[in-house]
Chain A
Amino acid sequence: MVKKIYFLSILFSFFFIKEAFAAESGGMPQLNPEFWVSQIFWLVLTFGIMYLVLSKLILPKISNNLESRKSQILENIEAAEKQREASDAKLKEYDEIISKSKLEANSIFNQAREKALKDIGAKREVLDKQIDNEIAEAEKEIDALRKNAPDKINKIAIETSSELLQKLIGAEVNNSSISAIVDDLSKRSGDKYYGN
């Protein structure tokens, strides 16, 4: 409504401008005192009202808006700073946990390795002993076999020789004489067959 009145009055004023232009006047219209009082009156009125409205209603609001925005921004910055600090602390904590657990893992691994090495050593010792024992037993057996082998061979040789002689000459030959010969032979050439 107010706007409409103003626009109408602008239109009105255009009307009068044309009229005024038609009636030309000489000199500077500014120095014509006819409307000075009117201009002063309207200036004081409009400027005064504008000043009052601006200073009492509008400017405090703008200043308030600016203040509140400033404080809010500051608050937000503070909050962001706080959160950054918190996240930094968390990051530190996390790093500590990681390094601690790394150390722990290392020590656990080392322990396990040592234990495993010890176990392996013990087992190896036991096995080595067993193997040594078995080797010693086997050597003993071999030795026994080796010791018995000439006697057995001699016996076989005596028996074979006696039987051979019996078949050849048909007469019983004294075993003891044959064994004497075999013993003698084996003593002479035994080293050739049984020697190590």
Chain B
Amino acid sequence: MAANPMSQFDVYRIGPEIKVGAFDISFTNASLFMILSTVSILLVFNFGSKKNSILPNKIQLLAELSYTFVSKMISDTAGSKAKPYFAFIFSLFMFVLFCNMFGMIPYTFTVTSHIIVTFVLAAFIFIGVTVIGFIKHGFGYLKLFVPSGVPAVLLPLIVVIEVISYLSRPISLSVRLFANMMAGHTMMKVFGGFVISLGIVGGWLPLSFSVALTGLEILVAFLQAYVFAILTCIYLNDALNLHH
């Protein structure tokens, strides 16, 4: 067994190398777990929406609770104008949640522990939100960088800070998720390694830590998916209802 706690994040090809032009789009373990997550999401929600009984069964209840949870989250943070983007935020939340949760199963691969994946998601959100903002408000969207009630002397500084904070959104959003996932999994791996190296005598302490960490990581997996989705809602709120 590998002692390196980072080797769990290795991406490797499954099957042959697939190249399109200069790009390598081979099927990897990351692709496998992306497909697994999406297929599980689709299966759960397909079975959860198939029958429309007045008294929902367990899977229907699960699907409907998720639906109302996300829809409430969106309406609370971004208002009723965000309704057209419900499907996207729902997919986003479910995708991140399922990828995180799949990562909690031993010997699996955590898709969201890779900066490139979270960055693509965050960048897409950033670009999408910016485009929506400019479509809704035209150049008035730039008022987002000019907070009201700021003295004129401070304005240049504030605008620069606002622009930087706006531009750093995709980075903070992606790094938050990626770093949380990576740190948690690395820590679990390290404690797991301690269990092995300390053996039957001293291994109980890191083992108990490992158990506790697993619970914590499951919480983090949910929480980070939630944070990712709610931050998207907040950015969307900025674009839809220019509050500044």
| Chain A contacts to B: CB under 8 angstroms | 6, 9-10, 12-14, 16-17, 19-22, 24-32, 34-44, 46-47, 49-51, 53-55, 57-59, 61-66, 68-69, 72-73
* A39 and B30 form a contact (CB under 8 A): yes
B219 within 8 A of A: no
Decide if the interface of chain B is mainly helix, strand, loop or mixed.
helix
Shortest CB–CB separation between residue B68 and chain A, in angstroms?
A: 7
* B42 and A50 form a contact (CB under 8 A): yes
Residues in A whose Cβ lies below 8 Å from that of B37? 46
Given the interface contacts A14-B107, A37-B24, A37-B25, does A72 sit within 8 Å of B68 by beta carbon?
Answer: no
Residues in B whose Cβ lies below 8 Å from that of A49? 38
B224 within 8 A of A: no
B45 within 8 A of A: yes
Query: Which of A38, A54, A69 is the one whose CB lies under 8 Å from B26?
Result: A38
Residues in B whose Cβ lies below 8 Å from that of A69? 52, 54
* A20 and B42 form a contact (CB under 8 A): no
B134 within 8 A of A: no
Q: What are 22 A-B pairs at a CB distance below 8 A?
A: A6-B36, A10-B32, A12-B14, A16-B29, A21-B1, A24-B2, A25-B10, A29-B6, A30-B9, A30-B113, A30-B178, A31-B115, A34-B24, A38-B11, A42-B34, A46-B35, A46-B38, A50-B38, A50-B91, A50-B94, A51-B87, A54-B41
Residues in A whose Cβ lies below 8 Å from that of B32? 9-10, 13
